[in-house]
Chain A
Amino acid sequence: MTTTTLALIPLLPLLAAALTCGLQNGRRAAGVAIAAMLGSCGLALAAFNEAWGMAADVHATFNIPWLTVGDTAIPLGFVLDPLNGAMLAMVTFIGLLIFIYSAGYMKDDERMARFFCYLSLFAAGMLGLVLANSLLLLFMCWEIVGVASYLLISFWFHKPEAAAAGKKAFIVTRIGDMGFLIGILLAFKTTGTLTLYNEAGNGMLQQDLTGTVFGISVAAVISLLLFMGAVGKSGQLPLHVWLPDAMEGPTPVSALIHAATMVAAGVFLVARTFPLFEVPLYEEGILKMTHVVAWVGAITALIAAFIALGQYDIKRILAYSTVSQLGLMMVGLGVGGVAVGMFHLLTHAFFKALLFLGAGSIIHGCHEEQDIRKMGGIWKPMRVTSIAYLCGTAALVALPFVTSGYYSKDQILAAAWGEPLMRPVFWIAAAASLLTAVYMTRQCLYVFAGEYRGGKTPHESPVTMTAPLVILALFALGMGMVFETSIFAKLQGEVIHDNFVIAVSMAVALGGIALGWLIYRGRALGQAADPLAAMPLVRKLWFDELYAATVGRLWSLAIIMAEQLNELLLRVRDLAVLLADRIGNAFAIGGDRKLIDTLAFDGMCNRLRSAGHAVTRLQNGFLPGYLRLIALGAVALGVLVFWIK
């Protein structure tokens, strides 16, 4: 791989975005975008192939000098190693499938061309993020991705909820990004470079960071700040509130951005900068940032799984499930390292994209109905979608041995069990897995079992939508088994087999399904009250209300104060204007009119004129007067001569 070929991977979709933004024809735009994504995917697979052939700890770097300030050069550039090679392949492959799916899903939308423009922009940002060898480039792409996410969530901006959700996503992630940015600055101050790896071996991640901030090691502080960004982007507690609302966007967007790729960017960031997370908080201490990561992830996983139990919107359930699974990835990173977390990220990307696209297909088939209470009996009319969806569900609940989710989740649990300090996290993650099985069983019963409760009869989706489903279903089932050994080998992880953990893992998956079955067996779904849709769960544990009451109230207060300040400043401004006016007038009247006009110019003229008059008066033609003047002159001459002597 050369710099150019690597650069082409994000540049092709970017080019497609530039081309499609001028197009009106949706089908043509889709063609351009899919072609670009196909090229990008081909290059990415080549890169993946090369990365997979490298030794595990090699990082091929492609740095380009970008900005030189004094003696400091800030290079931008790309890195290629097994970590992002795998990400590249996953992002482009799932992206390609979702692009194809979108061509079917969005074909009746009049702004289809614009949709593909945004989608391509997103893909460009995401691929740049994955390839970046500099925290700065990574942050730039991170923000491009954020903007694209905002544009796509509020794509149907005529719906007030969609517009609000877009704003919410943008602002909430911004809170995390603030930490990320400060982290970048601190890292630059500490290491003097923003490149992660370079040839000279003094990249940010290749140095030993020394020094402390408030008694905590500087590496831990940097990683904490970076983790703030990851918390925002990956929807971890307490910044998870934007992700479920982001489901207001079109379903392919939910699948691509808010399930498979963008939300995984936070996890990827932690994996990318993992060496920083492994530095102990205190010298000689055992506490590390990885423990914080694991705890945040575990709590997120459990709470999000709880909330998912009480939701009725098919996409919202999946959204909370995504938050929960992202939490599990964080747990994996925290307890097991890069390999464990990334393995779950990769498998999750496939089965969650599958679930979302399946949900999109179901929504499409049920005439844009998203409420699972009004579905039911989808199994019969939508056979392909249903089978694919059930495959995704099986992977999500980690059905033993036959699904990819089982392998990755098992490794997370095994790693957590292996670390004595992290036993509580193990139990929390297991509980989250149990709840996952329960809510997915509930959802599938609502959607597939029984009779159809909606209005018009559902229909199967076109082949552009079902074909990606089938491909993703194959990956959702087989990927774990096929890639487990190689991923762990390449990402320097260790596959742990612990019989107790396997037993727990199987127990929670099967037990959860059984529990869900027991709760809903024989109930009239959709008509009778739902035993799990208790008030706190339906209201999402009042997180939004809590934020409205605290942050929102604080904000209102800040607004009032800002308005008062504004008022004050306006007064000051008026005063200043008045003062300036006065001074200006004084200068205009006193200086300009009086001094320059009257005194200097007119005055001089008048003086000259009167002097002229006076001189003219001498020339009066009065001859004795001339005589007198001559005499006066003679006397003056005499005096002068006398004087000189």
Chain B
Amino acid sequence: MMLHHYLILAAVLFCVGLMGAFTRRNAIVVLFSVEIMLNAANLNFIAFWRYSDNPELLHGPMFTLFAIAVAAAEVAVGLALVIAVYRHFKTVDLESMNTLRE
């Protein structure tokens, strides 16, 4: 296994997340996709750390741990927002949430 295999996997994951965020209309699915992209980035951190010159410094896992913690908080806020939106609009379809227009 070489470093580029991990990087390719991370890029594929990121693209999957990006496509999901762009194309899906369900707010919860978009939230999932954002998480996938976040994890693609985490994977990159770990991969670069594992193949760096001095892995004993633990830079990569530190960043990753922080990112997971922040992502958990973010998901909590995001899900709360989605619920608030659902209560207001009775839907989680992003395309019907167009009250910003005009």
Residues in chain A within 8 A of chain B (CB atoms): 619-624, 627-628, 631
Contact = CB atoms under 8 A, between A and B. Distances in A.
B44 to A, nearest CB: 14
B22 A624 contact: yes
Given A624-B94, A624-B95, A619 B22 contact: no
B22 A620 contact: no
B3 to A, nearest CB: 20
B99 A621 contact: yes
B77 to A, nearest CB: 17
B93 to A, nearest CB: 10
B25 interface: yes
9 contacts: A619-B100, A621-B101, A622-B95, A622-B98, A622-B101, A624-B23, A627-B22, A627-B30, A628-B22
Contact of B18 (A621, A623, A631): A631
A536 B1 CA distance: 147
B21 A623 contact: no
Nearest to A627: B21
A624 B99 contact: no
B81 interface: no
Interface string B40-81: 000000000000000000000000000000000000000000
Contacts of B30: 624, 627
- Top-6 shortest CB links A-B: A621-B101, A621-B100, A621-B98, A623-B94, A620-B101, A628-B22
Contacts of B84: none
Given A624-B94, A628-B22, 20 more contacts: A619-B100, A619-B101, A620-B98, A620-B101, A621-B98, A621-B99, A621-B102, A622-B95, A622-B98, A623-B94, A623-B95, A623-B97, A624-B22, A624-B23, A624-B25, A624-B95, A627-B21, A627-B22, A627-B30, A631-B22
> Which secondary structure characterizes the binding site on chain A?
helix
Nearest to A623: B94
Nearest to B98: A621
Contacts of A622: 95, 98, 101
A620 B30 CA distance: 19
Contacts of B18: 631
A627 B23 CA distance: 10
Interface in B1-36: 18, 21-23, 25, 30
Contacts of B100: 619, 621
Contacts of B98: 620-622
A67 to B, nearest CB: 83
Contacts of A631: 18, 22
Q: How large is the interface on B (under 10, 10 to 19, 20 to 34, 35 or more residues)?
A: 10 to 19
A616 to B, nearest CB: 9
A225 to B, nearest CB: 96
A315 B88 CA distance: 127
A553 B30 CA distance: 112
A486 B63 CA distance: 140
Nearest to B25: A624
A627 B25 CA distance: 12
A365 to B, nearest CB: 114
**Of A619, A621, A628, most B-chain CB atoms within 10 Å:** A621
Nearest to B94: A623
Nearest to B24: A624
A624 B102 CA distance: 17
A628 B18 CA distance: 9
A294 to B, nearest CB: 114
Contacts of B95: 622-624
Nearest to A628: B22
Nearest to A620: B101
B27 to A, nearest CB: 9
A121 to B, nearest CB: 91
A631 B15 CA distance: 12
Nearest to A631: B18
Contacts of A624: 21-23, 25, 30, 94-95
A274 to B, nearest CB: 108
A335 to B, nearest CB: 117
A243 to B, nearest CB: 103
A181 B25 CA distance: 106
Contacts of B97: 621, 623
A47 to B, nearest CB: 105
A620 B21 CA distance: 18
Nearest to A626: B100
A621 B97 CA distance: 8
A628 B20 CA distance: 11
A623 to B, nearest CB: 5
Contacts of B99: 621
A621 B21 CA distance: 16
In this complex, the member of A619, A624, A628 whose beta carbon has the largest number of chain B beta carbons within 10 angstroms is A624
